[in-house]
Amino acid sequence: MSRKIVFIAIFISSFLITRAVFAYDDKTTHPALTSEVVDFYNLNFNQRITTEEKEWIIEGSILEDTPPRWVNHFYDPIYK
For every residue of 19-69, DSSP letters joined together read -------TTTHHHHHHHHHHHHHHHH-SSPPPHHHHHHHHHHHHHTTSTTG
pLDDT in tens, 25-77: 778 888 999 999 999 999 999 999 999 999 999 999 888 878 887 777 776 77
Report CA 31 to chain centroid distance, whole Å. Answer: 9
pTM: 0.61
Structural domain boundaries of the chain? Answer: 22-80
